[in-house]
Amino acid sequence: MNSDPIPFPREYAIPEDFHQNIRTRFLNFFRYTVGDKARNSLIMLMGAVKMNKHDEDQQYRVEQESNFHYLFGVDFLNCYGIIDVDNGKSIVFVPQYDSNYKMWNVVLNNDEIKQKFKLDEVLYNDDIESWLSNRKPSLIYYFYGIDDYSHHSLPIPDQPFLQNYNSDYDELYYILTESRVRKTPQEQDIMRFICKISSEAHELVIKNIRKGNKEYQMEALYQYHTFINHGCRFTPYECICASGTNGSVLHYEENSKTIQEKELILNDMGGKFYGYCSDITVTFPSDGKFTQKQAIIYNAVLDTQRQVHNSLKVGVNWGDMQLLAERTITKHLFNAGLIKGSMEDLIKNSICRLFFTHGLGHMLGLRTHDVGGYNKGTPPRLPELSQLQFRRDLDVGMVFTNEPGIYFIDFILQGAYKDPNKMKYLNKERIEEFMHVGGVRLEDDILLTANGPEILNDVPRTIKQVEACWRGEDWRKIND
Amino acid sequence: MNSDPIPFPREYAIPEDFHQNIRTRFLNFFRYTVGDKARNSLIMLMGAVKMNKHDEDQQYRVEQESNFHYLFGVDFLNCYGIIDVDNGKSIVFVPQYDSNYKMWNVVLNNDEIKQKFKLDEVLYNDDIESWLSNRKPSLIYYFYGIDDYSHHSLPIPDQPFLQNYNSDYDELYYILTESRVRKTPQEQDIMRFICKISSEAHELVIKNIRKGNKEYQMEALYQYHTFINHGCRFTPYECICASGTNGSVLHYEENSKTIQEKELILNDMGGKFYGYCSDITVTFPSDGKFTQKQAIIYNAVLDTQRQVHNSLKVGVNWGDMQLLAERTITKHLFNAGLIKGSMEDLIKNSICRLFFTHGLGHMLGLRTHDVGGYNKGTPPRLPELSQLQFRRDLDVGMVFTNEPGIYFIDFILQGAYKDPNKMKYLNKERIEEFMHVGGVRLEDDILLTANGPEILNDVPRTIKQVEACWRGEDWRKIND
């Protein structure tokens, strides 16, 4: 293998005015929202900091924090960024390194940094205090808020001299987050690119992996394709390469099992380019031919994904899409003889959630689980829909995943068998026959436009397409 | 590319008694060193903990801390490990997860963990307090010490109930570190394996990379080879793929430049298998043919590496090897007309350190810069040899790197030109003619045996071998 020269890389050229455009758009929104209070104020962010590996003299390869990247594009660590709200100027403060550090690492001078990242000013971290005392802002806005998913917050600058200035910890989080929810046309183009090359990598894996291979070999091939051809060093999340019943562990990341014959393989892998993420899941049979039971579950998930897709448009509420998905899955599970009872009872008792245990999809952007799901001013999380990642009305420029799934999770079903209120809806014997299926998830990345949904990925979806792809045939010619 | 099926992985089978053997050997050493004080005592270590990515609901893929891995082999995070000094039993405490966690992640039960890692007992973290109050140790030894390289220390367990027991923070660090310095035969075999497959990956890169490629494509191909064929998901350190003058930045990790013709490429890349590291550097010309000036520098470094190699044996002091390397490099720089003056003056003024700016080599094992360099009871770091990573006498079972280098570092040379005490030894005009060479480093991984040094890597070294390898020929047939 690999006895041919490496092809030249095909990178995507980020427009020079990319971050300037983002800052301008964000600042207009910020000034409009905050009003007079924002006059003579500054916005101050702290970038990602270095993280040591244990007690070693090595650091993790830390990616820039996504808000800092969004506004400034600077990929160095231990920096601060300021936006002057009045004039929109961007000032980034960077660490100053000694000559020993320069011997070991690439260090640009401040002019080079200013030039490279199209900033208005670049100074050293030690200059922040004097810069502020010259600038005399009436108020400094900091980014502080609890993330929907992790319930964590980012650190905020805490230098003692900052206490000399009025501070606001409320406004920025909501406004910056909301700005990120709707992607600019330039952001959309990057996301099209990363989804396209991630799809190519998925296709390559489907074509080349066989029983006897290890799951992690799919991860290796996938990452290799996007890295060597397009420079994608980072992945948005750990690759999930699950064969057989491993598919029933939603975020299975071990990828350590040997692939057997007649197994379904669930590959949930994404790429990352210039910080922007794809998040694509395919499911295919290890030997290229779905069994009857695998096909029943696969088609149920595919139909659900399509029903949702066909309902997507501006103004539709995502909570309603979750309910549509649940209804569709319930119907399919019933038709397959896996669950029993009246449709009304099955829905009322959320029986399908024993099999479809996660939310229908999440927003996507500079993070896999992108920000803004339950931002201030949007419909809050409901206890009865706690697994759903957002309940907003869909809007133009939003990018999100459409990822229904059906899983046979042993410990969940064992628990349900013991609960009479659930057991009465379950055909245990029939379910047991399907346990080997593991899980099926199909995940599309959707950009909502004024004309409707655009699927950014390009992977085989129907059973005929998937089987043709496995055989190395041109699956795009197959329409059914 | 990659239209062939993926080959089946070739993994190395870790012996079942691997960690048991290590614990037995370590404990004998511990009991012998500590003596009576160790009776009825415990050794307690804390494993690596999860690390969140910024404020996201994602964690870094954290590797187990190396001492914890060494003694227990358990790769889960947020664990504690105890060794009972009296009977040698191993007890590992693991986090207990709820059912929501189990839905998303693989969770083994404690019996499965005990079985998988051949431990004597596996309990939950919440059990530590009661376990200790039953066991009633007279003393608990903790791992506390400042790392030579990073000057960091590892966190130590700090549960309040541990205050009920006598504690010792001194002995364990020194003894465990010393144990790691000499590798067991089973450890040596793993290191042979990782060095061998890392060498294959280096060879693949030399054969396939050409001008017009980006530096990071070498990183991608290297990692792919070791990952897809042998399951090496982690690398011991960030790949250094430096072309042209980037070779003069010792730990250049950007790998973002396009490779040009007539450039030297310096690739410092290692692999990691079951925690054990290789650390191998090759230097080769981008178009397969060394220029005259590149060859002068390359041969100077190669001769230095060989002079050192031929002097390696049990009892030799590594500080003396550093001085041997410096003398040899000085001689070559003089012969090349780059420096001038008497040999005595050149040595006395350490002129070669303007070009050979780092230490000759470091110990290698479960870390790239492995532990024990300046352990208690070994020769201390000298101010005049501050760049050297250890000054010990070499002993059987030690694994270390032999990595001389010559670099043309612009800012260092510019500084030297302005210093009359250095400038008088430098032929500035001649040096300027060599600046484009960037840097040459040749790094071998050496296991010292009773019979002498064993080179664990297998990469082309002479100019003829390197050029033949680039052309895809069988370089192993070439002896000069």
The whole-number pLDDT of residue B246 equals: 98
Taking residues B369-387, report their average pLDDT.
95
The whole-number pLDDT of residue B290 equals: 98
Structure-block tokens of residue A389: 């990642």
Q: What percent of chain A has pLDDT over 90?
A: 98
Containing H/E element for A441?
strand A439-441
Structure-block tokens of residue A307: 């029903």
Please indicate whether, in this complex, the C-beta atoms of B210 and A5 are within 8 angstroms of each other. Answer: yes
The whole-number pLDDT of residue A1 equals: 42
The residue ranking higher by pLDDT, B1 or B166, is B166
The beta-carbon neighbor of A216 closest among B56, B153, B231 is B231
Q: Would you say A80 and B174 are in contact if contact means Cβ atoms under 8 Å apart?
A: no
Question: Quick check: B3 pLDDT over 90?
Answer: no
The whole-number pLDDT of residue A223 equals: 98
With contacts defined as CB-CB under 8 Å, which chain B residues touch A9? 213-214, 216-217
What average pLDDT does chain A have?
97
Question: Quick check: B156 pLDDT over 60?
Answer: yes
Mutate to test the interface with A, among B46, B49, B54 (most CBs of A within 10 A): B54
Q: For A248-272, what is each residue's pLDDT tens digit? A: 999 999 999 999 999 999 999 999 9
Q: For A467-480, what is each residue's pLDDT tens digit? A: 999 999 999 999 98
With contacts defined as CB-CB under 8 Å, which chain A residues touch B5? 208-210, 213
Closest among A335, A325, A249 to A297, alpha carbons compared? A335
CA atoms within 13 A on the CB side of B68: 27
Taking residues B337-366, report their average pLDDT.
98
Taking residues A357-368, report their average pLDDT.
98
| Nearest-angstrom CA–CA distance, B68 and B86 | 19
Taking residues A278-305, report their average pLDDT.
98
The whole-number pLDDT of residue A3 equals: 55
With contacts defined as CB-CB under 8 Å, which chain B residues touch A210? 5-6
With contacts defined as CB-CB under 8 Å, which chain A residues touch B253? 105-106
With contacts defined as CB-CB under 8 Å, which chain A residues touch B223? 224, 227
Quote the distance between the C-alpha of residue B61 and its chain's center.
Answer: 19
Please indicate whether, in this complex, the C-beta atoms of B227 and A212 are within 8 angstroms of each other. Answer: no
Nearest CA in chain B to A3: B208
Please indicate whether, in this complex, the C-beta atoms of A8 and B51 are within 8 angstroms of each other. Answer: no
| Nearest-angstrom CA–CA distance, B82 and A10 | 51
Please indicate whether, in this complex, the C-beta atoms of B228 and A233 are within 8 angstroms of each other. Answer: no
Q: Would you say B436 and B244 are in contact if contact means Cβ atoms under 8 Å apart?
A: yes
Residue with tokens 């209120």: A421
The whole-number pLDDT of residue A196 equals: 98
Residue with tokens 């606001």: A168
The whole-number pLDDT of residue B50 equals: 95
Nearest CA in chain B to A413: B103
The whole-number pLDDT of residue A209 equals: 96
The whole-number pLDDT of residue B422 equals: 98
Mutate to test the interface with B, among A69, A222, A228, A364 (most CBs of B within 10 A): A228
Q: Would you say A317 and A295 are in contact if contact means Cβ atoms under 8 Å apart?
A: no
Taking residues A66-73, report their average pLDDT.
98
The beta-carbon neighbor of B55 closest among A104, A147, A224 is A147
The whole-number pLDDT of residue B235 equals: 96
Quote the distance between the C-alpha of residue B99 and its chain's center.
Answer: 39
The whole-number pLDDT of residue A92 equals: 98
Taking residues B278-303, report their average pLDDT.
98
The whole-number pLDDT of residue B174 equals: 97
Q: For A155-167, what is each residue's pLDDT tens digit? A: 999 999 999 999 9
Q: Where in B100-199 does DSSP place strands (E)?
A: 121-124, 139-142, 167-168
Nearest CA in chain B to A228: B217
Please indicate whether, in this complex, the C-beta atoms of A147 and B8 are within 8 angstroms of each other. Answer: no
pLDDT band at A222 (very low <50, low <70, confident <90, very high): very high
Mutate to test the interface with B, among A1, A55, A78 (most CBs of B within 10 A): A55
ipTM of the complex: 0.96
Taking residues A403-418, report their average pLDDT.
98
DSSP class of residue B426 equals: B
* SS3 (DSSP) at B442: coil
Please indicate whether, in this complex, the C-beta atoms of A210 and B48 are within 8 angstroms of each other. Answer: no
CA distances, B241 to each of B232, B269, B456 (Å): 19, 8, 21
- The residues facing A454 across adjacent strands are A447
Q: Quickly list H helices, A182-283.
A: 185-208, 215-230
Taking residues B275-289, report their average pLDDT.
98
- The residues facing B400 across adjacent strands are B363, B446
What are the backbone angles phi and psi of residue A43, rounded to the nearest 5°? Answer: -110, 130
Question: How far is the alpha carbon of B282 from chain A, nearest alpha carbon, in Å?
Answer: 18
| Nearest-angstrom CA–CA distance, A112 and A213 | 47
Question: Quick check: B336 pLDDT over 90?
Answer: yes
Nearest CA in chain B to A470: B5
Mutate to test the interface with A, among B12, B49, B53, B215 (most CBs of A within 10 A): B53
Please indicate whether, in this complex, the C-beta atoms of B2 and A208 are within 8 angstroms of each other. Answer: yes
Please indicate whether, in this complex, the C-beta atoms of B57 and A105 are within 8 angstroms of each other. Answer: no
| Nearest-angstrom CA–CA distance, B460 and B191 | 19
Amino acid letter, residue B4 = D
With contacts defined as CB-CB under 8 Å, which chain B residues touch A357? 103
The whole-number pLDDT of residue B5 equals: 80
Taking residues B292-313, report their average pLDDT.
98
The whole-number pLDDT of residue A5 equals: 80
Q: Would you say A158 and A140 are in contact if contact means Cβ atoms under 8 Å apart?
A: no
Pairing of strands A240-243, A264-269: antiparallel
Please indicate whether, in this complex, the C-beta atoms of A56 and B250 are within 8 angstroms of each other. Answer: no
pLDDT band at A11 (very low <50, low <70, confident <90, very high): confident
| A·B CB contacts under 8 A | 195
CA atoms within 13 A on the CB side of A92: 27
Q: For A232-250, what is each residue's pLDDT tens digit? A: 999 999 999 999 999 999 9
DSSP class of residue B315 equals: T
Taking residues B172-191, report their average pLDDT.
98
Task: Report the number of secondary-structure helices (H) and strands (E) in chain A.
Answer: 15, 16
pLDDT band at B11 (very low <50, low <70, confident <90, very high): confident
The whole-number pLDDT of residue B45 equals: 98
Q: Where in A47-203 does DSSP place strands (E)?
A: 80-84, 90-94, 121-124, 139-142, 167-168
Amino acid letter, residue B197 = I
DSSP class of residue B14 equals: P
Q: Would you say A90 and A104 are in contact if contact means Cβ atoms under 8 Å apart?
A: no
Question: Quick check: A103 pLDDT over 60?
Answer: yes
Amino acid letter, residue B474 = D
Q: Would you say B447 and B454 are in contact if contact means Cβ atoms under 8 Å apart?
A: yes
The whole-number pLDDT of residue B362 equals: 98
Structure-block tokens of residue B18: 């691997």
Domains in chain B with CATH codes: 18-181 (3.40.350.10), 185-477 (3.90.230.10)
Taking residues B314-320, report their average pLDDT.
98
Please indicate whether, in this complex, the C-beta atoms of B251 and A104 are within 8 angstroms of each other. Answer: yes
Please indicate whether, in this complex, the C-beta atoms of B56 and A150 are within 8 angstroms of each other. Answer: yes
With contacts defined as CB-CB under 8 Å, which chain B residues touch A252? 105-106
Helix axis angle, B185-208 to B18-34, nearest 10°: 120
Please indicate whether, in this complex, the C-beta atoms of A54 and B66 are within 8 angstroms of each other. Answer: yes
The whole-number pLDDT of residue B406 equals: 98
Please indicate whether, in this complex, the C-beta atoms of B103 and A56 are within 8 angstroms of each other. Answer: no
Question: How far is the alpha carbon of B339 from chain A, nearest alpha carbon, in Å?
Answer: 21
Question: Quick check: B103 pLDDT over 70?
Answer: yes
Helix axis angle, A463-470 to A292-311, nearest 10°: 120
Please indicate whether, in this complex, the C-beta atoms of B221 and A6 are within 8 angstroms of each other. Answer: yes
CA distances, A192 to each of A43, A266, A276, A442 (Å): 30, 23, 10, 18
Question: How far is the alpha carbon of B480 from chain A, nearest alpha carbon, in Å?
Answer: 25
The whole-number pLDDT of residue A2 equals: 46
Structure-block tokens of residue B423: 């400038």
